[in-house]
Amino acid sequence: MARTTALLATAALAGAALAGCSSSGGKGSEDKAEETGGGKANTARMTIAMVTHSGQGDTFWDIVKNGAEVAAGKDNVKLLYTNDDKADGQAQLVEQAVNQKVDGIIVTLAKPDAMKAAVEKAVAAGIPVMTINSGSQFSKEFGALAHFGQEESVAGEAVGEQLNEDGRKKAICLIHEQGNVSLEERCAGVKKTFKGEVENVQVEGTNRPGVEAAVEAKLTAAKDTDAIVALNADIASAAAKAKEGAGSEAEIATFDLNSDVVARLASDEVAFAVDQQPYLQGYLAVDGLWLHKQNLNVIGGGRPVLTGPAIVTGDDAEALKKFTDRATR
């Protein structure tokens, strides 16, 4: 896996304006478009609902939303962003969007069994659906036009291979959301390629002190653990604190970036990170729906559009810092 901060050369796509429960909406997204030098599309106003399985207080989803906002600000789109960490709640939000007769829906499939009926209801109502981030293998089956994200098992395999290269022998993989198929696929990918021992450890991702305590206890009890795999940037920060408390020498690897992780990469507190470019997931999904509305374009040819993985290290930290500081990487 090449150590590079970008995986794709993406097509120039047009995007739209934002409103909704978890966003500032309307003018704010138009201002973001102006900041990046984009103008507003001279097309009829669209309304797109984006419903994710997580988001509140999570820097990863802030980046996804920022990408969607910039695309929305260009494409004259009203974006309704909501999220619910409970699968039934997320499905209900999708059904509400269907009842509102929106022009398009963007949704994550972290818990696909719970989302299947809601997505199929949207498709049956003639509302085009894009999926992002999780559940790529279910996207086409449920009737979505395209999926934007990374192949989670492949990303996990890349982590396992990098741990081998670093000479690690015993790893823990921190699953911070029970039942999330993408997180399970990441750890399974690590196990597939890592030549050492991997143990999955369940932590409560919404409870930062609880994560720190659980990881510190694990490192204290299993002192031969020499690698910690965090599955998002916030958990990586908690793992770094736990490592310090346990007096452990374990290497920390993580999925996803934020400004804290980039700083820790620069100081060698985090060895490497897997970047799936969440900004692109929000941006391209909005643009994809706009293109389908305007020109019946479909991106991906029935296959997932990959936004990752890319392995990044401290060598990339300086170049990435200005982008993570503005929450676009």
Question: What tens digit of pLDDT does each residue of 178-199 get?
Answer: 889 999 999 999 999 999 999 9
Predicted local confidence at residue 57, as pLDDT:
67
Average pLDDT over residues 218-225: 97
30 and 112 co-located in one domain: yes
Q: Are residues 64 and 165 in the same domain?
A: no
Residues 145 and 39 in one domain: yes
Same domain, 58 and 92: yes
Angle at 207 between CA 253 and CA 260, to 5 degrees: 40
Q: What is the pLDDT of residue 203?
A: 96
Higher-confidence residue of 206 and 144: namely: 144
Cα–Cα distances (Å) from 230 to 58, 74, 150, 176, 203, in that order, read 15, 35, 17, 9, 10
- 323 lies in a domain? no
Q: Is the pLDDT of residue 18 over 70?
A: no
Region for residue 9 given its phi and psi (left: phi exceeds 0; alpha: psi -120 to 50; beta: otherwise): beta
Same domain? 292 vs 188: no
- pLDDT at residue 11 is higher than 70: no
State yes or no: pLDDT of 6 exceeds 70. Answer: no
In DSSP notation, 178-229 reads: TT-HHHHHHHHHHHHH-SSEEEEEE--TT-HHHHHHHHHHHHHH-TT--EEE
Q: Do 220 and 202 share a structural domain?
A: yes
DSSP 294-318: HH---SSTTS-EEEE-EEE-HHHHH
Is the pLDDT reported for residue 8 higher than 50? no
Domain membership flag for residue 329: no
Q: For the chain, what is the domain count?
A: 2
Query: Could you tell me if residue 209 is inside a domain?
Result: yes
Least confident of 53-62, 127-136, 272-281: 53-62
- Domain range enclosing 259: 152-275
Task: Tell me: pLDDT of 39 over 80.
Answer: no
Q: What is the pLDDT of residues 48-73, one digit of tens each?
A: 999 999 876 678 899 999 999 999 99
- Mean pLDDT score of the chain, rounded to an integer? 89
Please say which residue of 275, 298, 321 terminates a domain. Answer: 275
Q: Is the same domain home to 83 and 231?
A: no
| Rounded (10°) CA dihedral 186, 188, 190, 195 | 180
* 82 and 180 both lie in a single domain: no
The confidence score (pLDDT) of residue 56 equals 65
| Two structure tokens written together for 274 | 């897997």
Query: Cα(159)–Cα(270) distance, rounded to whole angstroms?
Result: 13
Is 213 within 8 Å of 272 (Cβ atoms)? no
Average pLDDT of the segment spanning 260-269? 96
Instruction: Say yes or no: 167 and 68 in one domain.
Output: no
Report pLDDT for 15.
35
Residue 65 is predicted with a pLDDT of: 95
Instruction: Specify whether 169 is located in the same domain as 242.
Output: yes
* 43 within domain boundaries: yes
User: Which DSSP helix (H) or strand (E) runs through 77?
Assistant: strand 77-83
Percentage of the chain surpassing pLDDT 70?
88
Given a cut of 80, whether residue 33 has pLDDT beyond it is no
Same domain, 179 and 202: yes
pLDDT of residue 23: 45
pLDDT average, residue stretch 73-79: 97
**CATH number of the CATH domain containing 114:** 3.40.50.2300
Asked if residue 235 is part of any domain, the answer here is yes
Strand residues in 111-183 grouped as ranges (E): 129-132, 146-150, 170-175
CB 296 within 8 A of CB 83: no
pLDDT band at 239 (very low <50, low <70, confident <90, very high): very high
pLDDT exceeds 90 at position 3: no
In the structure, what pLDDT confidence band is assigned to residue 38 with cuts at 50, 70 and 90?
Answer: low
Which of the four pLDDT bands, split at 50, 70 and 90, describes residue 206?
confident
Strand, helix or coil for residue 79: strand
First to last CA, the chain: 19
In a domain? residue 5: no
Distance CA 267, CA 285 (A): 35
Single-letter amino acid code for the residue at 106: I
pLDDT of residue 59: 85
**Domain termination residue (choose one: 275, 290, 316):** 275
| Per-residue pLDDT at 13 exceeds 70 | no
Do residues 140 and 284 both lie within one domain?
Answer: yes
> Do the domain assignments include residue 160?
yes
Predicted confidence at residue 19, as pLDDT, reads 33
Residue at 257 is within a domain? yes
